[in-house]
Amino acid sequence: MYFCCLVMVLRILLLPFAGLYRMITGLRNRLFDLGLKPSVKFDLPVISVGNLVAGGTGKSPMIEHLVRLLSDKYKVATLSRGYGRKTKGLRIGNSLDNASTLGDEPFQFFRKYNDKITVAVGEERALAIPNILHVYPETNVVLMDDAFQHRFVRPSFSILLSDFSKPFYKDYLIPAGRLRESRGGADRADVIVITKCPTQISDDTFMAMESEIRKYTNKRVFYSKIRYGYPVPFGGQQQTKEKVILISGIANPESLVSYVKSGYTLLKHFSFKDHYHYTLKDLEELNQFSKANSEAMLLTTEKDMVKIDTEQFKQLIVQMPLFYLPIETEFLKDGEDFDEMVLSIFNHADDK
């Protein structure tokens, strides 16, 4: 109770600064709307996946859903900023790259889909796309990750994600909340996807959420959840265990923790900041804790796995019972309609 009151007081104190932030972001968006800031439209389909808030809403699982949907028929390129990487400028993934050179999520795409897609990172996406097309002219579609506020490129189709437990219509502008721009920005999207939903949602909850969303946009709303796969070994053991030592470096680990608790006995959660770069000291401490709790396995996310499963830590991880949890986006209903909406942009492109 005391903590909630403290949060409310702090939010009230920060509202004037949020008002200033609203003016700045509102002016920026208005300049784009009027064409006074340049915005490029490309001939090939460009699909944007993003959100209104700072923090995790399930963008990577959505990008992977689109890769699986499109890559059998089209030549797909993903384009991310490459947050947390130690390189600058445009970089197209190759065999010499790792999470430090591409960023953890783009490197995750590269490791998983390297034989199917092109993975690129670059801060200036309006410049990056022509360069991708120059190197890979066979590219049919570009998937822009975390690009809702990146208005220098006008997407063919824009997907806005919002976390079920923290919907954008209940949030406030930075610094009073997590919104990067005002709630009305949702109307720029072609579809809204409420992510990380529980498996069962009542009709009343659906209606209440859509009623709130309709205050800002009339675009179609879909609902998805995270589907966790079976733990995959990448350390020194192949056999899973009932007890878990959880390791995560993600923005919102609540749903992950909830899932682990529902199926395993959680001994301890080592929670690091989002996009955390693991050190040798971290792995040594995890190894020591694991040895002291030999009845448990070390479980992490796929995003964290690509930063742990490296040459730097090779001698340690072969001693450790390390596993990662693969995840996928799964729609609660009307998933076929969502896929058809995405595929329809290629029909429109063909008609031009």
**Does 284 lie in the same domain as 237?**
yes
Question: For the packed helices 59-70 and 335-351, what is the interaxial angle rounded to 10 degrees?
Answer: 60
What is the count of structural domains for the chain? 2
**Does 68 lie in the same domain as 156?**
yes
Torsion angle, CA of 39/348/335/151, rounded to 10 degrees? 0
Q: What CATH number does the domain containing 261 carry?
A: 3.40.50
Band the pLDDT of 178: cuts 50, 70, 90. very high
DSSP code, position 185: G
Average pLDDT for residues 177-197, to the nearest whole number?
96
Residue 56 is predicted with a pLDDT of 78
pLDDT over 60 at 64, yes or no: yes
Over the stretch 296-324, which tens digit does the pLDDT of each residue have?
999 999 999 999 999 999 999 999 999 99
| 296 within some domain | yes
pLDDT over 80 at 221, yes or no: yes
Over the stretch 163-173, which tens digit does the pLDDT of each residue have?
999 999 999 99
**Does 252 lie in the same domain as 174?**
no
| 129 within some domain | no
| 207 within some domain | yes
Contact assessment for residue 117 and residue 78, using Cβ atoms and an 8 Å cutoff:
yes
Name the amino acid, one letter, at 321: P
Residue 19 is predicted with a pLDDT of 85
Over the stretch 8-28, which tens digit does the pLDDT of each residue have?
666 676 777 788 889 999 999
pTM of the shown model:
0.93
Torsion angle, CA of 85/91/95/100, rounded to 10 degrees? -10
Over the stretch 228-265, which tens digit does the pLDDT of each residue have?
999 999 998 899 999 999 999 998 899 999 999 999 99
Average pLDDT for residues 208-237, to the nearest whole number?
96
| 33 within some domain | no
> Phi/psi at 161 (nearest 5 deg)?
-100, 145
Q: Is 21 helix (H, G, I), strand (E, B) or coil?
A: helix
pLDDT over 70 at 51, yes or no: yes
| 13 within some domain | no
Residue 11 is predicted with a pLDDT of 67
pLDDT over 50 at 352, yes or no: no
Residue 344 is predicted with a pLDDT of 96
Q: What is the distance between the alpha carbons of residues 113 and 273, in angstroms, rounded to a whole number? A: 26
> Phi/psi at 136 (nearest 5 deg)?
-125, 75
DSSP code, position 218: -
Q: What is the distance between the alpha carbons of residues 140 and 74, in angstroms, rounded to a whole number? A: 6
**Does 259 lie in the same domain as 199?**
no
Q: Catalogue the long-range contacts made by 61-66 (C-beta closer than 8 Å, 24 or more residues apart).
A: 61/195, 61/226, 61/327, 61/328, 61/329, 62/159, 62/161, 62/193, 62/195, 62/224, 62/329, 63/109, 63/143, 63/145, 64/109, 64/112, 64/113, 64/328, 64/329, 65/328, 65/329, 66/143, 66/342
Percent of the chain residues topping a pLDDT of 70 = 95
Average pLDDT for residues 158-185, to the nearest whole number?
95
Average pLDDT for residues 196-215, to the nearest whole number?
95
Domain interval for residue 57: 46-74+140-227+331-351
| 113 within some domain | no
**Does 218 lie in the same domain as 69?**
yes
Q: Are strands 157-163 and 191-195 parallel, antiparallel or unpaired?
A: parallel
Q: What is the distance between the alpha carbons of residues 333 and 329, in angstroms, rounded to a whole number? A: 12
**Does 242 lie in the same domain as 203?**
no
| 219 within some domain | yes
| 192 within some domain | yes
